Amino acid sequence: MTRKRQRTLLIVGGLLASIALGVVLVVVFRNPLLNSALVRREISGVLREELGRKVDLSGAIRIDEWPWVELDVGRGSIDNPAGFKGPPLAQWDLIEMRFHYSTAYEEEPLLYGVVIHGLKIDLRIDAAGRDNFSDLGSRDPTPPSVPLNVPRVEIRDAEVRFTDERESTEPKFVARSITLQTGKVERGVGPVEGQRWRISDIDLRAKPLDLDTVVLRVPSLSVDASIPAARIPAATVSLGPVRLRLSDLAVSTPEGKSSQAAGRFALDPVPLAAMIEAAGQQPPFARNSPWFRLRGLSGSLSQTEQGLLVDDLRVGIDDMRLTGSISVGRKIRFSLQGNRLDLDRYIEALADNSSTTPSGGFPGKTLLGLPLEGTVRLDSAVSGGLRMREITLEVTDRGR
């Protein structure tokens, strides 16, 4: 063998040995490298560019590559906007991701799914009216450089709080023990481009305050983050025996304006006692009463800057039918038309349960204290031997 060939073999062998040594070093030291300050800053920088917020990665980062590539990101948080005081907008205990390259020619990794443990979200409006959530996310309308296609997302043991410090420093809403499972999550895939997202098969369970567990099921959800806007063709919300169905729900936030929403709703038939108990109150009549049965409730919803409007309202309670509209703003205004009201049956049912109903259980005084204003027109009403026709009841807000 000539010296020239020996020298060539030595060079090639040295290169191969260097590559092998590099691979071994990467495998052995990959997790210390991932946990280095330099890599953490790079990851945080990418996330900050995407979210528009500072992202803190304080927990350990781990990666394994057999049989799938597994990436675990430990404790971290997403900060509030600059100058906004209070706890971080979001914190998590652990994020797990699994993915692999199906072939040597696959341009992008195939994600198996994402699991987030111990997510805590703290939504706040400060005393000056500034919030920590409305400006979240990138406003770049161009398609992302890397399309997103996640087969499933799962969130375990999450908590969401909402506090409006203009009214109180105590949370207005708290939901604990939240679990969320979704089907495919897409962005920049096929017809979904830029800031448009598509999510399928959403199953959400949560325990708000001291109520029963709420279950939300949504077959599909599309979101345009550049407006932002969302559209839900159908959804079901369950709270114990109470089931609310939503359809054709659309939500948008035009630039410089408040959020707007529109859609339709329908409540499945249910005893009114079950509805009152689901709201954490004691009904003023026996649960097994043959009366006080909701036979149906439906209508259209629209939320604008002026408030909430419930139109095309249709209510069935026992054999009584009500139609009309309700608007909720600074005052609660209503206009309702009913057919027939039998007062005797309800007075009797309330009297039979008066001895077992705890005082203050039913929020009647609270209801009367609301800023109500409107009319209820009935075709007829019956009480004892008295029959009344074409009755008009007017309610005027006494606080104006």
Tokens of 235: 């959804």
Residues 6+ apart with CB under 8 A from 102: 110
- Sole residue written with tokens 């890599």: 39
- Report the SS3 class of residue 26: helix
pLDDT at 376: 93
pLDDT at 19: 43
pLDDT at 28: 41
pLDDT at 39: 62
- Sole residue written with tokens 């409007």: 309
pLDDT at 274: 85
pLDDT at 97: 84
Domain ranges within the chain, ordered by starting residue: 31-226, 240-400
Burial of 62 (0-12, 13-18, 19+ CB in 10 A): middle
pLDDT at 27: 42
Q: Compute the CA torsion angle 344, 345, 346, 347 (nearest 10 deg).
A: 40
Angle at 141 between CA 135 and CA 144, to 5 degrees: 105
pLDDT at 300: 96
pLDDT at 111: 74
Closest CA to 88 of 130, 49, 132, 24: 132
pLDDT at 327: 93
If you count DSSP H runs as helices and E runs as strands, how many of each does the chain have, helices first? Answer: 5, 24
pLDDT at 145: 58
pLDDT at 36: 55
Are the beta carbons of 218 and 198 closer than 8 angstroms?
A: no
pLDDT at 147: 66
pLDDT at 387: 87
- d(Cα 155, Cα 182) in Å, to the nearest integer? 9
Burial of 379 (0-12, 13-18, 19+ CB in 10 A): middle
pLDDT at 30: 47
pLDDT at 296: 92
- d(Cα 202, Cα 96) in Å, to the nearest integer? 19
pLDDT at 361: 45
Question: Digits of tens for pLDDT over the chain (400 positions)?
Answer: 565 555 545 544 445 544 444 444 344 444 454 555 666 676 777 677 767 788 888 888 877 766 667 788 889 898 998 889 889 999 999 988 887 755 545 555 667 888 999 999 999 999 998 998 877 755 555 555 566 778 889 999 999 999 989 888 888 888 888 999 999 888 765 555 556 778 889 998 888 766 677 888 888 888 776 667 888 899 999 988 889 999 998 988 776 677 788 999 999 999 888 888 877 778 887 778 888 899 999 999 998 777 889 999 999 999 999 999 999 888 889 999 999 888 888 888 777 665 554 444 444 555 666 788 999 999 999 887 788 899 998 988 766 5
